[in-house]
């Protein structure tokens, strides 16, 4: 064919060589890291005129892990990754791509992923994903497609948050909700399907219901004096009841679609691992999905709180470690949060 702009024809002497297409993918290993310091509700309630009972009843949370001041997103990501690599039985050199899902890495640039790669002695392609509490499930979808498409053999997906850096502990609506931690998964090739089709999407018209309360640029313009005004710190704000309604009524149908697209039913599941946002949201979703009573449900939120991108992989690692969910079993996982964004898929547990 002749190009209309140049009148030239393609040489036609070369063809692109690509890796084999359309192989399957699966999660081959997971790992989790929770900071040592445990902060019970009682330590937070005075500042927000609340109570341990109210927090337990409205959210299911009794405590959260909080990182040390000098413990970074990359430190936590590294700890979870080393466990996931061990579980997968591969070395860091075998990783072709590293995806870090986070909204609390405190550098606009560079991303956390290349720094994590360097820690591991890896020169894999590396980038971050900003999809808040859906970040891990977004990452699993992308990693699965990379493996299936042949652009990578092994992809590391990390969900990690140091939300304590971005929580306003005087805000009644969020002070008790968040926790810190990291979860990681290695996605690799498989002879049989191990990651079902992802059902995902966004609703940016609701960007304001969970958002940094200020853009970074409010803090200091390049031409202005720095400010120490604490009200300008860009903590994460949330219109809790709006998000709650969206999660309860909007997300169960998405989870059901993930089951349908994978060709399985709730009866086939060995675990339900939703984002750990609120135990009442988790229970409402399970009810709408008509989950049989024998399907274990992740309730890691009780002692880990809401760790955003880390919540699904952390809950997965715990369920496997505790023998609550079986290796080789089917799990339905769903992440949802700021954006608003969401993603759900059925996976075979490693």
Mind telling me the catalytic residues?
A: 133, 275, 306
The CA distance from 231 to 90, in Å, is: 46
Q: Would you call 99 helix, strand, or coil by DSSP?
A: strand
Choose, by CB under 6 A, the member of 122, 278, 333, 345 that binds ligand UT7.
Answer: 278
Of 136, 83, 64, 65, nearest to 312 (Cα)? 136
Q: For ligand UT7, which stretch binds (CB under 6 A), given 66-74, 101-109, 121-129, 241-249?
A: 241-249
β-strand partners of 336: 342
Tell me: does residue 277 bind ligand UT7 (CB under 6 A). Answer: yes
Q: Annotate each residue in 188-227 with x if it binds ligand UT7 (CB under 6 A) or - if it does not, as one string.
A: ----------------------x-----------------
Q: Are 163 and 102 in contact (CB under 8 A)?
A: no
CA dist 317 and 313 (Å) reads 6
Is the Cβ of residue 85 or residue 289 nearer to ligand UT7 in the bound state? 289
Q: Which is nearer to ligand UT7, 50 or 62 (CB)?
A: 50
Which class for 223: exposed (0-12), middle (13-18), buried (19 or more C-beta within 10 A)? exposed
> Quick check: 240 binds ligand UT7 (CB under 6 A)?
yes
Going from the C-alpha of 126 to that of each of 83, 113, 129, 187, the distances in angstroms are: 19, 5, 10, 15
Q: And the tokens for 62?
A: 């009794």
Q: Does 313 bind ligand UT7 (CB under 6 A)?
A: no
Task: Map residues 13-52 to x or -, x wherever contact with ligand UT7 holds by CB under 6 A.
Answer: -----------------------------------x-x--
302 binds ligand UT7 (CB under 6 A): no
243 binds ligand UT7 (CB under 6 A): yes
Number of residues that bind ligand UT7 (CB under 6 A): 22
């Amino acid at each position: 064919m002749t190009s209309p702009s140049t009148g030239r024809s393609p040489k036609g002497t070369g063809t692109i060589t690509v890796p084999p297409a359309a192989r399957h993918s699966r999660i081959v290993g997971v790992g989790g890291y929770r900071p040592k310091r445990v902060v019970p509700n009682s330590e937070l309630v005075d500042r927000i005129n609340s109570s341990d009972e109210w927090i337990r009843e409205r959210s299911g949370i009794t405590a959260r892990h909080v990182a040390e001041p000098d413990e970074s997103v990359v430190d936590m990501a590294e700890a979870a990754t080393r466990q996931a690599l061990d579980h997968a039985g591969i070395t860091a050199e075998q990783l072709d791509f590293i995806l870090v899902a986070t909204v609390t890495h405190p550098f606009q640039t560079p991303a956390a992923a290349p720094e994590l790669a360097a820690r591991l002695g890896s020169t894999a392609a590396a980038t971050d994903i900003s999809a808040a509490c859906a970040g891990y499930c977004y990452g699993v979808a992308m990693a699965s497609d990379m493996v299936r498409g042949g652009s990578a053999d092994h992809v590391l997906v990390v969900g990690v948050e140091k939300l304590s850096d971005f929580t306003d502990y005087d805000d009644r609506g969020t002070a008790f909700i968040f926790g810190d931690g990291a979860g990681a998964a290695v996605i690799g090739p498989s002879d049989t399907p191990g990651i079902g089709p992802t059902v995902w999407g966004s609703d940016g018209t609701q960007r304001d219901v969970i958002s940094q309360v200020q853009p970074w640029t409010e803090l200091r313009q390049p031409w202005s004096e720095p400010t120490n005004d604490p009200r300008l710190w860009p903590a994460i704000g949330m219109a809790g009841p709006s998000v709650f309604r969206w999660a309860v009524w909007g997300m169960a149908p998405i989870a059901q679609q993930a089951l349908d697209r994978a060709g399985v039913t709730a009866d086939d599941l060995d675990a339900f691992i939703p984002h750990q946002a609120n135990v009442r949201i988790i229970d409402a979703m399970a009810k709408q999905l008509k989950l049989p009573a024998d399907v274990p449900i992740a309730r890691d939120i009780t002692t880990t709180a809401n760790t955003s991108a880390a919540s699904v992989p952390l809950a997965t690692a715990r369920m496997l470690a505790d023998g609550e969910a079986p290796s080789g079993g089917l799990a339905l996982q769903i992440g949802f949060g700021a954006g608003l964004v969401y993603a759900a898929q059925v996976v075979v547990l490693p």
